[in-house]
Amino acid sequence: MTPFDYERASDASSAVARVAANPNAAFLGGGTNLVDHMRLGVAHPQLLVDVTRLPFSRIESLPDGGIRIGAGVRNSDLAVNRTIRERYPVLSQALLAGASGQLRNLATTGGNLLQRTRCAYFQDVTTPCNKRTPGTGCSAMEGHNRDHAILGASDHCVAVHPSDMAVALAGLDATVVVLGRQGERRIAVTDLHRLPSTTPERDTVLERGDLIIAVELPPLPVAANSAYYKVRDRASYAFALVSVAAALEVRDGRVADVRIALGGVAHKPWRALRAEAALRGAAATDESYGRAADAELADARALQHNAFKIPLVRNTLRMMLRRLAQGGRS
């Protein structure tokens, strides 16, 4: 591991200034992803600015009925928060589907959002990877690509975004509050992460020195009937092959409101707007659910080893919508 300096940030503005001024500096949350990357040689910051002691560890109600989650809130604390469990169960379930108890005790909301892809080639510094070393090529394109993207990929990168929590937040219309050099700004979670295009080295729209300070959830009645389902190779301690975050309200046999986001399918949490549009006002039937899935997957492109993801998304989404239409019962 490259030697590095460690500082504990005492206030947010100076943390931003420190990292903004130094291209070799990085914020440190729980360190469960960044420190792994330092060990692997994927990341070599020379200065770590620890942001876990900043005053961002609260979950608070907002005047409009929404919820503000501090960026330093640990994944474990967020998952068991009573308001989250009752009003946004999809978020609690997504968190509990990720990593392990020990990791969730350390992992922060801000760090979780910015964790990097688990593409094996990205993590293996002996192989070409456009995301790790731009211009070297994408080893996954013709390699082991069973875990890779079916939506929104490019010729430069087929990696998928790994965070379960971010998929739930994408479905909940959440907003990320960022403190940067020019002050605070707000970014829809769905706009935070990027598709790879020709610059896969950029995971997000954030600029150097941008510090995530909070995530806000809007008051969203439909979210009370929501759930997260993660399909994976093992029952725990495994990333999603595909996942579905969904919220559904059915009135008089028709879909009155719906939110859907998909994980394990793209370089970013994938908000399924086409499926939602197909469902709004439609009869709450398996046929409608299948049509909605087909609309979302119309542009899906499989690689050599991941064609199974297309029917897997379709079937998982239909199953989730059936369950939610029955009030969450299977």
Ligand X SMILES: Cc1cc2nc3c(=O)[nH]c(=O)nc-3n(C[C@H](O)[C@H](O)[C@H](O)COP(=O)(O)OP(=O)(O)OC[C@H]3O[C@@H](n4cnc5c(N)ncnc54)[C@H](O)[C@@H]3O)c2cc1C
Cα angle 93-327-247, degrees, rounded to a multiple of 5 = 55
Residues 6+ apart with CB under 8 A from 80: 92
Site membership for ligand X, residue 108 (CB under 6 A):
yes
CB-nearer residue toward ligand X: 29 or 258 = 29
Sole binder of ligand X in the list 162, 200, 264, 269 (CB under 6 A): 162
CB-nearer residue toward ligand X: 98 or 171 = 98
Site membership for ligand X, residue 275 (CB under 6 A):
no
Q: Distance between alpha carbon 63 and the CA centroid of its chain, in Å?
A: 26
Site membership for ligand X, residue 143 (CB under 6 A):
no
User: Using CB under 6 A as the criterion, what x/- string covers residues 240-259 for binding ligand X?
Assistant: --------------------
Render 120-164 in DSSP notation, one character per residue: HHHH-TTS-BTTTSTTS-BSSTTS--TTS-SSS-BTTB------H
Minimum separation from the CB atom of position 15 to ligand X (A):
9
Residues 6+ apart with CB under 8 A from 154: 195, 196, 197, 198, 200
CB-nearer residue toward ligand X: 34 or 324 = 34
Sole binder of ligand X in the list 59, 91, 114, 158 (CB under 6 A): 114
CB-nearer residue toward ligand X: 95 or 292 = 95
Site membership for ligand X, residue 127 (CB under 6 A):
no
CB-nearer residue toward ligand X: 98 or 143 = 98
Minimum separation from the CB atom of position 221 to ligand X (A):
26
Residues of this chain, 219-238, that bind ligand X according to CB under 6 A: 237
CB-nearer residue toward ligand X: 29 or 152 = 29
Residues of this chain, 25-54, that bind ligand X according to CB under 6 A: 26-34, 36, 51
Minimum separation from the CB atom of position 218 to ligand X (A):
21
Task: Determine the Cα–Cα distance for residues 19 and 211; give it in Å rounded to an integer.
Answer: 9
Task: Determine the Cα–Cα distance for residues 289 and 66; give it in Å rounded to an integer.
Answer: 29
Site membership for ligand X, residue 212 (CB under 6 A):
yes
Which residue type does 211 have? Answer: L
User: Using CB under 6 A as the criterion, what x/- string covers residues 172-211 for binding ligand X?
Assistant: ---------------------------------------x
Do 295 and 272 contact (CB within 8 A), yes or no?
Answer: no
Site membership for ligand X, residue 264 (CB under 6 A):
no
Task: Determine the Cα–Cα distance for residues 216 and 35; give it in Å rounded to an integer.
Answer: 27
Do 267 and 275 contact (CB within 8 A), yes or no?
Answer: no
Site membership for ligand X, residue 171 (CB under 6 A):
no
Residue 118 in tokens: 């688990």
Residue 104 in tokens: 């969730």
Query: Count of residues binding ligand X (CB under 6 A)?
Result: 31
Sole binder of ligand X in the list 17, 40, 47, 103 (CB under 6 A): 103
Minimum separation from the CB atom of position 309 to ligand X (A):
17
Minimum separation from the CB atom of position 254 to ligand X (A):
34
Do 131 and 197 contact (CB within 8 A), yes or no?
Answer: no
Cα→Cα distances 218→66, 78, 95, 203, 237, Å: 4, 16, 19, 25, 30
E strands in 189-317: 211-217, 226-231, 242-251, 254-263, 270-271
- Residues forming contacts to ligand X in the complex (CB under 6 A) are 26-34, 36, 51, 71, 98-99, 103, 106-108, 110-112, 114-115, 162-165, 211-212, 237, 239
